[in-house]
Amino acid sequence: MQVPAGPKGTRDFYPDDMALREAIFSSWRSTCGRYGFEQFDAPMFEHLDLYTQKSGDEIEKQLYVFQDKAGRSLALRPELTPSLARMVAAKGNNLKRPVRWFSIPRLFRYEKMQKGRLREFFQLNMDILGVAEATADAELIAASVDMMRDLGFTARDFGVHVSSRALMEQLFLALGVPAEKLPSLYGVLDKRNKISKEEFNAELAAAVSPAASPSAVAEALSVTSLADLEKVGGPLPAAGELQQLFSYLGTYGMDEFVSFDIGVVRGLAYYTGIVFELFDAARSLRAIAGGGRYDKLVKLYGGPDTPAVGFAAGDVVLGEMLLQKQFTAGNRRSNVFLISLDERHPENAIRTATLIRHAGISCEFSLRKTGVGKQMEQANAARSLLAVFVGGEEEKGGSVRVRNMKSGEEDLIDRRELVSRLAKLLSA
RNA sequence: GUGGCUGUAGUUCAAUAGGCUAGAGCUCUGGAUUGUGGUUCCAGUGAUUGCGGGUUCGAGCCCCGUCAGCCACCCCA
């Protein structure tokens, strides 16, 4: 290859790719707008401490770290939530609650790449801060579903899997699992779908015995409804909270999208309550989106005690799903394309284009001196709706020929009325 | 970070068992059509077979390295 490749894990956005990206972004912005979220952004790089302080040094391997000229350790942002928590903490109590913010950050993670996982990507982040009730969780889950519907997906394409960190903790403690065993148990649980049943049972037994009965834990993990869960683990306070959440979601009309799934764990340490993930129906891709409650993070960064819940959806998996659905960009580049009949002299086309553009109509003409047939091809490439022939015989009689590129119909239009007639034709 | 698979025009794929000048569709450019696009027909541009080294009389094919991509782990904010 003579052409140098871009860095590993990055993408080039050619116009077709950019059209897909913009389709996703504008859908995201429109959904957030309907839910009354305000957009914000944060720096693309932060002090390394912001990330290590929360997750330990281990995370540094996943970060793009560099020193600036003063020797400060900085990192390209791998996620937005720490910046958000920092920004909210910095405002202290000066920020009107609840905060309903969204952002579409460009993020960087130094990772081994796989399908649906790159080193540079975008996310939609939606967060509500200052609300402890499940209404906020329900609002965000509903927004995530609407985000998918806005992109054209239905309940046949994806589902929301909901669980609760608090619920699991209460359940396992009730079953006799010691508190210090919980992290390793979550680890086993997280890979349940990836390993065989035998392996799972063996790892489960290793994680909970002898304090708790592996079979009791396994039984608890096999339940598919909250009601069944209480039969196994007894009354659990967090179950009531989840029930309330599902009740709200039913009122939102979300029943066909959401389900209780005790297998949803989420890797992040900072989640404290309800957690949820969106998956494609076939579960052949990575998670579309994921989120949950992180009630302690703002305080961790020195801010006021602020309950918070949020989710993030990546652009990579969504893009793959849209392409599978035969998404076609097909954006119109220009509405009007001028065909110069006196192709040696572009002045007429330049003057006419200027007139049309001043009226707010997108317009192009051939920048190369070439035949009418070729100019028509260029009009096609621009996906123009109308072709306007300038500089021909008709113009001597005070009119110009306008051709509808779709139907092939042509009209003679008075030269002086050209712009207003074009506007009318385009609005029809 | 670990293991496996793959790498041929811009793109999708060919090339008997290692054997002459590495082929084709699509795309792109030009022409048929110097005042009319999409269809069709014709022609052309375009590859030091990812890169570097090795084995061989001879390598797209075999070996080593490297880079890139895919898959499974690890991780997943």
Strand-pairing partners, residue A365, are A338
Looking at the structure, tell me whether residues A172 and A38 fall in a common domain. yes
Query: What sign does the CA torsion over A357, A359, A362, A365 have?
Result: negative
Instruction: Report residue A147: phi and psi, to 5°.
Output: -60, -45
Residue-level pLDDT at A267: 67
Looking at the structure, tell me whether residues A248 and A386 fall in a common domain. no
Which residues 6+ apart lie within 8 Å of A406 measured at CB? A385
Looking at the structure, tell me whether residues A376 and A279 fall in a common domain. no
Average pLDDT over residues A210-225: 80
Gap from A272 CA to B75 C1', Å:
21
For residues A77 and A108, the answer to whether their CB atoms sit within 8 Å is yes
Domain-located, residue A219: yes
Looking at the structure, tell me whether residues A407 and A311 fall in a common domain. no
DSSP H helical segments within A8-114, as ranges?
15-34, 48-55, 81-90
Looking at the structure, tell me whether residues A215 and A352 fall in a common domain. no
| Bases in strand B with any atom closer than 7 Å to a protein CB | 1-2, 28, 30-31, 33-38, 48, 50-51, 67-77
Domain-located, residue A69: no
* Lookup: nucleotide whose C1' is closest to A80 CA: B77
CA nearest to nucleotide B71 C1': residue = A114
pLDDT digits (tens, 9 = 90+) for A132-141: 999 999 999 9
pLDDT digits (tens, 9 = 90+) for A161-187: 999 988 888 888 888 888 877 777 777
Gap from A418 CA to B40 C1', Å:
35
ipTM for the predicted complex: 0.84
Domain-located, residue A68: no
Looking at the structure, tell me whether residues A354 and A301 fall in a common domain. no
CATH number, domain at A183? 3.30.930.10
Domain termination residue (choose one: A299, A324, A349): A324
CA nearest to nucleotide B77 C1': residue = A79
* β pairing state of A386-390 and A399-404: antiparallel
Kindly tell me if the per-residue pLDDT of A326 is higher than 70.
no
DSSP per-residue letters across A134-152: HHHHHHHHHHHHHHHHHTT
Gap from A105 CA to B19 C1', Å:
57
Gap from A3 CA to B17 C1', Å:
36
Which residue range(s) make up the domain with A372? 336-427
Pick the residue with more confidence: A272 or A140?
A: A140
Residue-level pLDDT at A264: 83
Looking at the structure, tell me whether residues A210 and A97 fall in a common domain. yes
User: How large a percentage of chain A has pLDDT more than 90?
Assistant: 58
Residue-level pLDDT at A386: 95
Q: Strand locations in A54-104, DSSP E?
A: 65-67, 73-76, 99-103
Classify the phi-psi angles of A117: left when phi > 0, otherwise alpha if psi is within -120 to 50, otherwise beta: beta
Domain termination residue (choose one: A324, A354, A387): A324
Domain-located, residue A8: no
Kindly tell me if the per-residue pLDDT of A77 is higher than 90.
yes
Residue-level pLDDT at A347: 93
Average pLDDT over residues A61-68: 87
Looking at the structure, tell me whether residues A308 and A351 fall in a common domain. no
Looking at the structure, tell me whether residues A260 and A366 fall in a common domain. no
CA nearest to nucleotide B7 C1': residue = A1
Looking at the structure, tell me whether residues A361 and A244 fall in a common domain. no
Kindly tell me if the per-residue pLDDT of A276 is higher than 60.
yes
Q: Lowest mean pLDDT: which of A221-230, A344-353, A402-411?
A: A221-230
Looking at the structure, tell me whether residues A89 and A202 fall in a common domain. yes
The total of structural domains in chain A comes to 2
Run of H or E residues at A110: none
Q: What is the DSSP letter of A192?
A: T
Gap from A180 CA to B46 C1', Å:
64
Looking at the structure, tell me whether residues A364 and A314 fall in a common domain. no
Gap from A370 CA to B34 C1', Å:
10
| Number of Cβ within a 10 Å radius of residue A417 | 12
How far apart CA A110 and CA A60 sit, in angstroms, is 9
Would you state the structure tokens that stand for residue A106, as one six-digit string? Answer: 């460009």
Q: Lowest mean pLDDT: which of A55-59, A63-67, A144-148?
A: A55-59
Domain-located, residue A55: no
Classify the phi-psi angles of A104: left when phi > 0, otherwise alpha if psi is within -120 to 50, otherwise beta: beta
Q: Lowest mean pLDDT: which of A170-174, A287-291, A359-363, A389-393?
A: A170-174
Domain-located, residue A52: no
Domain termination residue (choose one: A304, A324, A344): A324
Domain-located, residue A113: yes
Gap from A3 CA to B8 C1', Å:
17
Domain-located, residue A166: yes
* Lookup: nucleotide whose C1' is closest to A55 CA: B77
CA nearest to nucleotide B50 C1': residue = A1
Q: What is the mean pLDDT of chain A?
A: 89
Gap from A1 CA to B8 C1', Å:
12
Kindly tell me if the per-residue pLDDT of A1 is higher than 50.
no
CATH number, domain at A418? 3.40.50.800
Band (A230; pLDDT cuts 50, 70, 90): confident
